[in-house]
Amino acid sequence: MTSRAAADDDGHRPAADDGFRPGAGAGAGAGAAAAAVAREAADNGIARIGARRLAVIGGSVIGLACAWSAARTKLATEVVIYEPDESGPDGVPAAAAAWVAGGMLAPFSEAWPGEEAVFALGVDSLRRWPDMLDALEPYVPPGPPVRTATHTHMLAVDEADARDLDMAMEWAARQPDSTDADLRRITRRELREAEPSLARVARAAYRMDSEGAVDNRVLLAALTRACRAEGVRWVRSAVTSLDDVDADRIVLAAGSGSAELAGLPVRPVKGEVLRLRARPGCEDPPRGVVRAFVRGRPLYLVPRDGGLVVGATQYEHGDDRQVTVAGVRDLLADAETIFPGIGEYELAEAIAGLRPMSPDNLPFLGADPTDPRVIHATGHGRNGIALTPVTVAAVWAALHAVRGPAAARAAAPDRFARG
pLDDT score at 3: 37
Looking at residues 331-340, what average pLDDT do you find? 98
Least confident of 37-46, 303-312, 351-360: 37-46
Q: Indicate the burial class of 417 (C-beta count within 10 angstroms; 0-12, 13-18, 19 or more).
A: exposed
CA 62/CA 116 separation, integer angstroms: 23
| Inter-CA distances, 351 with 64, 184, 255, 320, 324, Å | 22, 33, 18, 11, 10
Q: Where does the pLDDT of residue 7 fall: very low under 50, low under 70, confident under 90, or very high at 90 and above? A: very low
Checking if the pLDDT of 261 tops 50, the result is yes
User: CA 7: distance to chain centroid?
Assistant: 22
Q: Which residue has the higher pLDDT, 345 or 178?
A: 345
pLDDT score at 251: 98
| pLDDT, tens digit, 9 for 90 and up, residues 10-53 | 333 344 456 676 555 544 444 444 444 444 443 433 334 456 99
Q: Where does the pLDDT of residue 179 fall: very low under 50, low under 70, confident under 90, or very high at 90 and above? A: confident
Structural domains of the chain ordered from first start: 1-147+215-266+360-419 (3.50.50.60), 152-210+268-357 (3.30.9.10)
pLDDT score at 167: 97
| Inter-CA distances, 186 with 40, 160, 224, 240, 348, Å | 46, 18, 40, 51, 33
Sequence-distant (≥ 6) Cβ neighbours of residue 57 within 8 angstroms: 63, 82, 239, 242, 245, 250, 251, 252, 253, 254, 261
pLDDT score at 317: 80
pLDDT score at 194: 98
Q: Where does the pLDDT of residue 1 fall: very low under 50, low under 70, confident under 90, or very high at 90 and above? A: very low
pLDDT score at 318: 81
pLDDT score at 82: 98
pTM of structure: 0.90
Checking if the pLDDT of 361 tops 50, the result is yes
Query: Mean pLDDT of all residues in the chain?
Result: 89
CA neighbor of 239 nearest in space, from 411, 65, 80: 80
pLDDT score at 23: 55
CA 218/CA 288 separation, integer angstroms: 18
Count the alpha carbons within 13 Å of 82 in the hemisphere toward its beta carbon: 22
pLDDT score at 177: 85
CA 400/CA 249 separation, integer angstroms: 11
Looking at residues 364-379, what average pLDDT do you find? 96
